[in-house]
Amino acid sequence: MSHDKVLTQGLTSSIHPFRILSCARPKIFLVESKYRGGDYTMRRTLAVSLVLALTLGVSLVMAGQWSGVVVEDKCGAAHKAGTEKDIACIKGCVAKGAKLALLVGDDLYVTTNPDKATGHEGHQVTVTGTADKEKKTVTIDKLEMAKK
């Protein structure tokens, strides 16, 4: 009796509800239920994976309202104080190619429509819009100065 057959027979007798099918390599086995075919398990796994992927994809892009400071993506949190020096630096960096961003706590979201935030550099604002947490971007629908 070959080594493959001994392993297969030994595992088959110890696992009653399953049938063991050996692959090309002697130590790799596919377990197939006697009650449901392997295709059913594969389909169920794919369906669950698809649902999870769609759920995670949808949850990464969300609409909402955030309060933060308008800064730029090069210096970021260094300008959150909003002093005249910070505002001048933000405007200078944007003129050199930096992108306006919204600093919410420790998270920095680059604005996809910077024209809505222009003129509010260094200010505490409340933004209503859509944020993509994966890409770290925010699309501003409405921007207001934050209430103090």
In the chain, where the domains are located: 3-59, 61-145
Q: Give the DSSP H or E segment for 83.
A: none
Tallying the residues shown for the chain, one arrives at 148
Instruction: Point out which residues pair with 124 in neighbouring strands.
Output: 69
Percent of the chain with pLDDT over 90: 41
Q: Is the pLDDT of residue 146 over 70?
A: yes
Phi, psi dihedrals of residue 102, rounded to the nearest 5°: -115, 120
Model pTM greater than 0.75?
no
Q: Which fold has domain 61-145?
A: OB fold (Dihydrolipoamide Acetyltransferase, E2P) (2.40.50)
Question: pLDDT per residue over 105-125, tens digit each?
Answer: 889 999 999 999 999 999 999
Return the structure tokens found at 146: 């934050």
Percent above pLDDT 70 for the chain = 66
Q: What is the DSSP string of 85-108?
A: HHHHHHHHHHHTT--EEEEETTEE
CA dist 10 and 144 (Å) reads 72
Token readout for 120 is 């509010």
> Cα 132–109–123 angle (5° rounding)?
140
Q: Round to whole Å and give the CA distance between 2 and 56.
A: 48
Query: Which 3 state secondary structure label does DSSP give 28?
Result: coil
Q: Are 106 and 87 in contact (CB under 8 A)?
A: no
- The residue whose two tokens read 């509010």 is 120
